[in-house]
């Protein structure tokens, strides 16, 4: 397994805006990608990662919502779809490894029903709420080239990108 570089909005916006293509099959090559994504996510650290964040435009997501002190609970999503979403929405403070050190409230459906293929290619259908619902919607946005800052006002979005660019310049 390899920790890969996570693309960020200061230098890799064009790639992050790409719409990812469905995975053709859940095979050893795709599992290797998922393993690299998980290791990259844990190293960051983060609770979710979409393949496009390491430059791979394929509809794959990894996630681990285990709290500190709990055993690891990796989850893998291939070609996920939202089957249905609650009418009710609610705010949640989000962050993104591709928009480092920016945290803002985003309003989304509070409950969603998902269908996806797991690490072994089995079809799974399940309900998500709370942080799970927030995170899977955030990650599925990435598959469509959408970032959480795209849900903010233009002013807040432009300020966020400017802040990330400034921090990147200071780092260099
Ligand atoms: O690590 C992450 N934390 C997080 C917090 C609130 C809502 C969404 C997320 S996902 C983010 C990692 C990431 O950028 N995934 O795309
Ligand atoms: Ni993100």
C-alpha 87 to ligand 2 mean position (Å)? 24
Retrieve residue 6's tokens: 């996570």
Which one of 5, 68, 95, 148 would you pick to mutate in the ligand 1 pocket, going by the greatest count of ligand atoms within 8 A of its CB?
95
Report the pocket of ligand 1 as residue ranges, CB < 6 Å.
46-50, 53, 94-98, 134-135, 138-139, 142
Q: Does the active-site annotation cover 93? A: no
Q: Mind listing the domains of the chain with CATH numbers?
A: 13-171 (3.90.45.10)
What pLDDT score does 1 carry? 86
Please tell me whether residue 104 adopts helix, strand or coil conformation. strand
What pLDDT score does 103 carry? 98
Across 96-112, b (16+ Cβ under 10 Å) vs e yields bbbbbebebebebbbbb
Residue recorded with tokens 């509809």: 59
SS3 helix, strand, coil % of the chain, rounded to 5?
Answer: 35, 30, 35
- Mean pLDDT for 95-104 is 98
Which ligand 1 atom lies nearest to the CA of residue 44?
A: 1
Residue recorded with tokens 């089995």: 122
Determine what percent of the chain is predicted with pLDDT higher than 90: 98
**How far apart are the C-alpha atoms of 25 and 12, rounded to whole Å?**
27
C-alpha 19 to ligand 1 mean position (Å)? 19
Q: Is the N-terminal amide bond of 80 cis, ω within 30° of 0?
A: no
Of residues 56, 70, 87, 139, which has the active-site annotation?
139
The predicted-structure confidence for 10-66, as pLDDT tens digits, reads as follows: 999 999 999 999 999 999 999 999 999 999 999 999 999 999 999 999 999 999 999
Which has the closest alpha carbon to 97: 42, 49, 34, 65? 49
The predicted-structure confidence for 140-168, as pLDDT tens digits, reads as follows: 999 999 999 999 999 999 999 999 999 99
pLDDT value at 73 more than 90: yes
Q: Whose alpha carbon is nearest atom 6 of ligand 1?
A: 94
**How far apart are the C-alpha atoms of 19 and 16, rounded to whole Å?**
8
């Amino acid at each position: 397994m390899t920790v890969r570089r996570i693309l960020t909005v200061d230098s890799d916006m064009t790639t992050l805006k790409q719409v990812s293509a469905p995975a053709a099959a859940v095979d050893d090559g795709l599992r290797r990608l998922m393993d690299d994504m998980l290791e990259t996510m844990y190293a960051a650290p983060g609770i979710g990662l979409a393949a496009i964040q390491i430059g791979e435009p394929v509809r794959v997501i990894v996630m681990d919502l285990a709290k500190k002190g709990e055993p690891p609970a990796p989850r893998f999503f291939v070609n996920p779809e939202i089957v249905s979403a609650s009418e009710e929405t609610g705010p949640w403070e989000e962050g993104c490894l591709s928009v480092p050190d920016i945290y803002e409230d985003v309003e989304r459906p509070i409950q969603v029903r998902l269908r996806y293929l797991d690490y072994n290619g089995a079809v799974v259908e399940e309900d998500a709420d709370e942080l799970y619902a927030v995170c899977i919607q955030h990650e599925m946005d990435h598959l469509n080239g959408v970032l959480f800052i795209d849900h903010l006002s233009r002013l807040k979005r432009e300020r966020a990108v400017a802040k990330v660019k400034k921090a990147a310049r200071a780092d260099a």
